[in-house]
Chain A
């Protein structure tokens, strides 16, 4: 680079830093209270004790992902034994056991309609399976290939569209029928690890290894907001049930709550006795509780308003890799490297 060019870069960087300082100051000016202070007067939730009601046995290796169906009874799980299993969580029966071409699977998803499931991993592809095929067999319906990195997460918008996040630092909106990329969401500077769709299906959020979370407008294809503050990879992300706030979980052993309309962090959920990273998270139906899975084999339950731990789910013999609360809020499902899924409430 020439000296002139360097001088220009220097100036631009200074401008950017200046803007960042201004933004920090502006956000600080809006901090007329903290969430904890505002919530000081409301009642405590009390100790939350959930018990294991069912254990889903059948996988032979680490479970990396699970996702509830919208009917709150069926769920799908993906394991490095190369299988995708659809469970009837109440009877613990396996409704489908789908063998995968690649055993390095990292994510799975259930379509809202209940007709399709998807998965992907080190094969860099998102494979869509039709559960309601005419002859009763579950077959690959589509293979969405274009990512140049591993598939870390995928979520259906409908039977026609799906959003994926990848280790190639991008997220993509696909048309399932044609197998083409409709929109590429680029901007993260690290592997995208997780994504979540807003309740109204207009936005989605992504968490990445650049320690930031981004809010994307699905229709426009643009990044609306970026949230920072974590000190390590963000592994898990989810919307607060009202769609106005975002919760992230990171390797820095903390979870953070960011509000979209305030455009800043509201609170951090951490404790000096928790040393291991957060792998997964799910809010309860009301949003008052946050269930987060950690590398130390436990799930911690947080009071989201008071940032206090109100419960622990200890029952897995290895890392908790995934967690989900059913849409009717009745049950929480955890999946672990110990190859079991557990249903708690």
Chain B
């Protein structure tokens, strides 16, 4: 046992001997540029390249990449560069009153470096990223348990690679108990337990009552090993160890950054592995399995059928007629341009956004069927789809069709839409009803279908389902779109609403709004009194 501990400690020491200024090249990007006089530029490009494209690690199995690992690697690239001898931050020993503070850098230095090397203009953003990196435990404030980065003269230290989160630490409470215990054995003010740590220790003592002697012994052994080390080294190591525990046992109220989305937990690297101990302990007893560590669905490697299916799919894809980029770009751009005036995040809505003004008059106006706004009427002209989406627009279009004696088309379309939503057991009957109303010989609302669609539909009706009228519906929709809808837009009914609204808008709107405002304010004061009355009585 002691040997294992010693080995572990040796490893710790070895890692420590790598002075902060000479970081290991952990990441292997595809091309690591040679350091030269343009080293600054190289670091920038290395960083942006490695941050933007993660597909460079040949040694890591991509299927085992948990999302945390992806972020860890990005952070490690940054942390490696930031500690670079020539292009990194100035890490130095600071002489304080009676002592020396080894291997530190100020918060401001880090923020400045991040801004320069990650091309960030806003210091707030640099601090956000810095805090993210600190919260994961890659550097830490030497005088605070809370892991964040501030743009000030406070000192920060870098974490030893041994303690990096990418090593998949999930330290057990026994390790934590040993750690807290050994802290109490060392007579140093800087190692005094914080309140929450003292509470944690008390809790652990109760939980591990039976093996506390064992834990105590381990703690003693750790203290012995620590004593052998050089004073400066101990200062550094102690702080790094503390930062490690700040990540895995965070201050109450702080986010535990090691938490993973439970959906991703199953696919973690080696979920059944023996949990390794920070202090080299071999775990006794059963491994506790979390509910999420069930055997994962390792999708089987492709069989012959899979590849054959894939080939079929690829052939379809190859034969598919695709539009050019310019065409689809044009289409997207014109859509957004058309709708931007209706997008409340871009154009302030009239009369006001109810969320910002607390005035619901906009919603009231929308709900009032009799007075659709000009802007709303304009929208119906964008597409038949828009007109039908709006119940007021749909109603107006229906009335227009009635005037042209072609309302059966829209009524058919609406009936089929409804068919797709009703409960399954009603489908068969409703399908028959639709046939009787719209398509049968002598039907009261006979629609005009081409013979092909008619044949197909009557075939479908032999086994009626939700989609029996899909073809027919498409056909009728196209008809309405190309024929009735265009006439509707040119019709007096629509145009009057679109134009006349302008005239009425200015005169009537003014009067109406002020009347509404008055009614509302009276209502509000009444409601206010009623509500307070309620609250007081309860």
Point out residues on A near B: beta carbons under 8 Å: 5, 8-9, 12-13, 15-16, 19-20, 22-23, 26-27, 30-35, 38-39, 42, 45, 48, 50-51, 53-54, 90, 104, 106, 122, 148-150, 152, 157-160, 167-169, 175, 177-178, 189-191, 193, 200-201, 209-210, 219, 223, 225-226, 231-233, 240-242, 244-245, 251-253, 259, 261-264, 266, 270, 272-273, 275-277, 284-289, 295-296, 298, 304-305, 314, 317-318, 328-332, 337, 343, 345
Contacts and interface: CB of A to CB of B under 8 A. Distances in A.
Contact of A193 (B65, B120, B132, B263): B263
A259 B54 contact: no
A10 to B, nearest CB: 10
B333 A305 contact: yes
Interface residues of B, number: 80
Contacts of B338: 286
B311 A12 contact: yes
Interface in B255-299: 255, 259, 262-264, 266-267, 291-292, 297, 299
A125 to B, nearest CB: 15
24 contacts: A12-B308, A16-B307, A48-B345, A122-B291, A149-B297, A158-B422, A160-B423, A175-B424, A201-B420, A219-B467, A219-B470, A241-B339, A259-B323, A261-B322, A272-B51, A273-B129, A275-B132, A277-B71, A287-B339, A296-B132, A305-B336, A328-B344, A330-B353, A332-B345
B326 to A, nearest CB: 5
Contact of B317 (A8, A23, A251): A23
A272 to B, nearest CB: 4
- Nearest first, the 3 A-B pairs at minimum CB distance are A286-B339, A158-B421, A38-B329
B345 A329 contact: yes
A285 B207 CA distance: 54
A285 B342 CA distance: 7
Contacts of A190: 299
Contacts of A200: 385
B339 A53 contact: no
B324 A289 contact: no
B65 to A, nearest CB: 7
Interface in B288-347: 291-292, 297, 299, 304, 307-308, 310-311, 313-315, 317-318, 320, 322-333, 335-340, 342-346
Contact of B332 (A15, A122, A242): A242
A54 B320 CA distance: 48
Contacts of A178: 424
B123 interface: no
Contacts of B356: 51, 53, 345
A45 B347 CA distance: 10
A20 B314 contact: yes
A315 B69 CA distance: 25
A33 B329 contact: yes
Given A263-B322, A272-B47, A273-B125, A251 B262 contact: no
Interface string B132-162: 1000000000000000000000000000000
Given A9-B304, A35-B325, A286-B335, 17 more contacts: A12-B304, A30-B323, A34-B325, A39-B333, A106-B262, A159-B423, A177-B424, A177-B425, A219-B467, A225-B317, A253-B70, A259-B323, A259-B328, A272-B52, A276-B71, A330-B344, A331-B355
Interface string B60-92: 000001010011001100000000000000000
A104 B262 CA distance: 9
B374 interface: no
B349 interface: yes
Contacts of A273: 118-120, 125, 129
Contacts of A30: 322-325
A245 B332 contact: yes
Interface SS of chain A: loop
Contacts of B333: 38-39, 42, 305
A159 B421 contact: yes
B100 interface: no
B8 interface: no
B361 interface: no
Given A287-B336, A317-B255, A343 B132 contact: no
B100 to A, nearest CB: 34
B211 interface: no
Contacts of A331: 355
A284 B340 CA distance: 10
B391 interface: no
A284 B328 contact: no
Interface in B355-386: 355-356, 366, 385
Given A272-B51, A277-B71, A330 B342 contact: no
